[in-house]
Amino acid sequence: MKRIVLTLLVCICIQSAIAQKNTPVVIATYNIRYNNSHDSLNAWPNRKENVKALIRFHEFDIFGTQEGLIDQMNGISEMEAYARTGHGRDDGKEAGEHSAIFYKKDRFKLLDSGDFWLSETPDKPGKGWDAKCCNRICSWGKFQDLQTKKTFYFFSVHFDHQGVVARQESGKLMVKKIQEIAKNAPAICVGDFNSTPETEQIQAMQTILNDSYKVTQDPPYGPVGTFNSFKFTAPMKNRIDYIFVSKGIKVLKYGVLTDAKDQRYPSDHQPVMIKAVIN
Q: Looking at the domain assignment, is residue 225 inside a domain?
A: yes
Answer yes or no: is 14 within a domain: no
pLDDT of residue 13: 44
For residue 106, tell me if it sits in a domain.
yes
Whether residue 232 is contained in a domain is answered as yes
> Would you write out the chain's pLDDT as a tens digit for each of its 279 residues?
666 544 554 444 445 445 577 899 999 999 999 999 889 999 999 999 999 999 999 999 999 999 999 999 999 999 999 999 999 999 999 999 999 999 999 999 999 999 999 999 999 999 999 999 999 999 999 999 999 999 999 999 999 999 999 999 999 999 999 999 999 999 999 999 999 999 999 999 999 999 999 999 999 999 999 999 999 999 999 999 999 999 999 999 999 999 999 999 999 999 999 999 999
> 3-class SS at 225?
coil
Q: How many CB atoms lie within 10 A of CB 175?
A: 18
Asked if residue 222 is part of any domain, the answer here is yes
195 lies in which domain range?
24-277
Measured distance CA(211)–CA(233) in Å, rounded = 27
Q: What is the CA radius of gyration of the chain?
A: 19
Q: Are 191 and 99 in contact (CB under 8 A)?
A: yes
pTM of the model: 0.93
CATH classification of the domain holding 158: 3.60.10.10
3-state SS, residue 243: strand
Reported as half-sphere exposure (CB side, CA atoms, 13 A), residue 32 has a value of 32
Domain total of the chain: 1
Residue closest to 110 by CA, chosen among 141, 87, 81: 141
Question: Residue 10 CB: number of other CB atoms within 10 A?
Answer: 10
In a domain, residue 266? The reply is yes
